[in-house]
Amino acid sequence: MAAAPVRYERTGAAALVTIDRPERRNAVDAATAEGLRESLDRFERDDGARVMVLTGAGGVAFCAGADLKAMDLDIEHPQGPMGFTRVTPSKPTIAAISGWCLAGGFEIALWCDLRIVTEDSTFGMFERRWGVPLIDGGTQRLRRIVGMGRALELTLTGRPVDAEEALRIGLANEVVPPGRHVERALELAERLAGFPQETMLSDRRATIDGAGLSLPEGLELEHRLGREVLDVAARGAARFAGGEGRGGAGV
């Protein structure tokens, strides 16, 4: 019996989801895409899993995109051909990236809220070379992360981007030594899990949902969502008044 192409395991407050096809540089075929969808569903149902950490097995590649040898992805799938790329999760997600992060794999990394990358990582819309379109959110998410001008450059040229440049342009949030990406992502996941969840998730939702709104509309959304968690804010203010968190302690 063949091993599952996607592994789901709980590590503390994190759901660690691993694309496990290192022999194919973790390229996604139909079974892998379905495994990613099932992992997201499981993460959403798991109240104890406060952050998803998504990575690729083997360390050579996070994900090299669609498996062009299989060519069996469902292009019309409502959740996205590569898995869950047309779905916005309700909780934070972190991509732990090592090695190649290409084409549809790049689009999966953009789906995540944060990206922790190793020094030897390389990003690229390499599908440009083969005439394959971006259909897993890349045209929409990349410009929201790095800006229109840079997004157009990377999309039109398909050129490689190393870890240093990725950090400089805001594509990567942090660069770590080889082999440390999952460990660091899990550390960050525990940090996020330790914050009061209601307000953190409210602010996350306002940031994501407000991306396509005008400033007045975005401010109204922020105000409405903020009012829904004022009781949590009051408790937090009382803790601060009592001496917690002074000088940035615990932040």
For residues 206 and 174, membership in a common domain is answered with: no
Domain count, the chain: 2
Q: What pLDDT does residue 71 have?
A: 86
Q: What pLDDT does residue 239 have?
A: 59
1 in a structural domain = no
| Residue-number span of the structural domain to which 30 is assigned | 6-193
Give the domain-ending residue among 193, 214, 230. Answer: 193
Is 119 among the residues known to form the active site? Answer: no
Q: What pLDDT does residue 233 have?
A: 58
164 in a structural domain = yes
Q: What pLDDT does residue 251 have?
A: 43
Is 244 among the residues known to form the active site? Answer: no
For residues 139 and 219, membership in a common domain is answered with: no
For residues 116 and 30, membership in a common domain is answered with: yes
169 in a structural domain = yes
Q: Which of 34, 107, 198, 220 is catalytic?
A: 107
Q: What distance in Å separates the CA atoms of residue 122 and residue 99, rounded to the nearest whole number? A: 6
Q: What pLDDT does residue 238 have?
A: 54
For residues 133 and 236, membership in a common domain is answered with: no
Q: Which of 127, 187, 190, 228 is catalytic?
A: 127
Strands 174-176, 51-56: pairing is unpaired
pTM of the model: 0.91
Give the domain-ending residue among 170, 193, 216. Answer: 193
Give the domain-ending residue among 193, 211, 236. Answer: 193
Q: What pLDDT does residue 74 have?
A: 87
Nearest Cα residue to 159 out of 127, 126, 133, 120: 126
Q: What pLDDT does residue 183 have?
A: 97
Q: Are 127 and 65 in contact (CB under 8 A)?
A: yes
Q: What pLDDT does residue 130 have?
A: 85
251 in a structural domain = no
11 in a structural domain = yes
For residues 180 and 209, membership in a common domain is answered with: no
250 in a structural domain = no
Q: What pLDDT does residue 230 have?
A: 77
Q: What pLDDT does residue 231 have?
A: 76
For residues 130 and 216, membership in a common domain is answered with: no
Q: How far is CA 55 from its chain centroid?
A: 10
The H helix count followed by the E strand count for the chain is 9, 10
Residues of the chain with pLDDT under 50: 241, 250-251
For residues 131 and 219, membership in a common domain is answered with: no
